[in-house]
Amino acid sequence: MIETIYIEKKIINHPRTKLILSKFKNARHIEINRYGEIFNKRNQNFRIQKNNPDLILAFKNDSHVLPAPEGFGIGSSRNYYFSHMYNCIYDCRYCFLQGMYSSANYVVFVNFEDFETSLKKVIKENSENKTTFFSGYDCDSLALESITGFAKYMLPFFKKYPQIDFEFRTKSIQTDPFLSQKPMKNVIIAYSLMPELISSSLDNKAPSISKRIKAMSSLASKGWKIGLRFDPLIHGRNWKVLYKEMLENVYQSVPLVSIHSVSFGPLRFPKEMFKDIFKLYPNEPLFSGPLSNKKGMVAYDLKIEKEMASFCKRITKRYIHENQIFQCSA
């Protein structure tokens, strides 16, 4: 899987570095001063690197916890995100990371302890506010869990703050860290979903929708809270039939009492990122759809966005209370 691992000299003796390296017996190790020497440098080709990405183990100096983008929330007055990793092992065609980074290599920050310290600080600053923390903005929260052990490490910390919600956003079916312990009411495992037919052509290397539904059902049966993230909504031929079938399948497969929240989001890209993504995939049918530039974002026309969101919400309201349904804006 990984042939070359770059390691910052600063963390060469960190226990987590040693643990991760022990899982790649045959990988070549190269010491570096700072991950920026390798990651996201100019003239790198994301598409070529994606075929055989390297792993970079690094120390994150600051910005462990950041305010979440506007519209990236599920009801709290304060929303933050934290990323223990940059990039994703999956290869979803609509992913904004391929426009954000010129490098497809994976960066894993091993100093989880500093994430914990920063989270404590932000929690203290927001003691009077309803707050949610999200993992899975710059990466998939759980896709490399068997390598990083990030969720396993963080769960005991989350248990100390039952008044704060923590969300792991993912497409992964690595559920062991959760199934091996008692559920926590303030922890949400949120799955990105779309109709199987659409996912099979866009969610490259990611678990199938049916496997994600099975994973959600398994987690729910043990008492864990589930988030449903229908984001992005993809327009195309027979989209109403496909989404109706998928939504009803999800709501009939996952115990409704376990569903914490449901959110819908349109297909959208920051304008400059879209330019870079389009260069990688100029013949991608997804990008030849009814997209337009509005306020610095490339997205579907507002009429299409509203029609899709309204249609999906109507079906969802048959199963889920309106207070649990959220719209992610472009």
Strands 131-135 and 187-192: unpaired
Task: Choose among 310, 278, 192: nearest CA to 302.
Answer: 310
Residues 244-283 pLDDT 10s: 999 999 999 999 999 999 999 999 999 999 999 999 999 9
Report pLDDT for 41. 79
3-state secondary structure 219-270: HHHCCCEEEEEEEEECCCCCHHHHHHHHHHHHHHHCCHHHEEEEEEEECEEE
Q: What value does the CA radius of gyration of the chain take, rounded to a whole number of Å? A: 20
What proportion of the chain, given as a percentage, has pLDDT over 90?
89
Strand partners, 134: 81, 167
Query: In whole angstroms, what is the distance from residue 236 CA to residue 255 CA?
Result: 29
Alpha helices in 254-318 (DSSP H): 271-280, 302-316
**pLDDT computed for residue 73 by the predictor:** 80
Tell me which residue has tokens 């472009």: 330
CATH number for the domain including 163?
3.80.30.30
Count the domains in the chain.
Answer: 1
Q: Are 86 and 138 in contact (CB under 8 A)?
A: yes
Q: Pick from 96, 71, 92, 91: which is nearest to 81 by CA?
A: 71
Hey, what are 4's tokens?
């070359």
pLDDT digits (tens, 9 = 90+) for 269-326: 999 999 999 999 999 999 988 999 988 999 999 999 999 999 999 999 999 999 999 9
Predicted pLDDT of residue 289: 86
Query: What is the spatial order of strands in the sheet that 4-8 belongs to?
Result: 28-32, 4-8, 55-58, 106-109, 85-86
Q: What residues make up the domain containing 194?
A: 4-327
Q: What percent of the chain has pLDDT over 70?
A: 99
Token pair, residue 241, equals 């039939």
Q: Does residue 294 sit in helix, strand or coil?
A: strand
Cα–Cα distance for residue pair 316/251, rounded to 1 Å: 8
Does the pLDDT at position 220 exceed 80?
yes
Cβ-Cβ contacts under 8 Å for 32 (sequence gap 6 or more) = 6, 7, 8, 9, 38, 56
pLDDT of residue 330: 54
Neighbours of 42 (CB within 10 A): 5
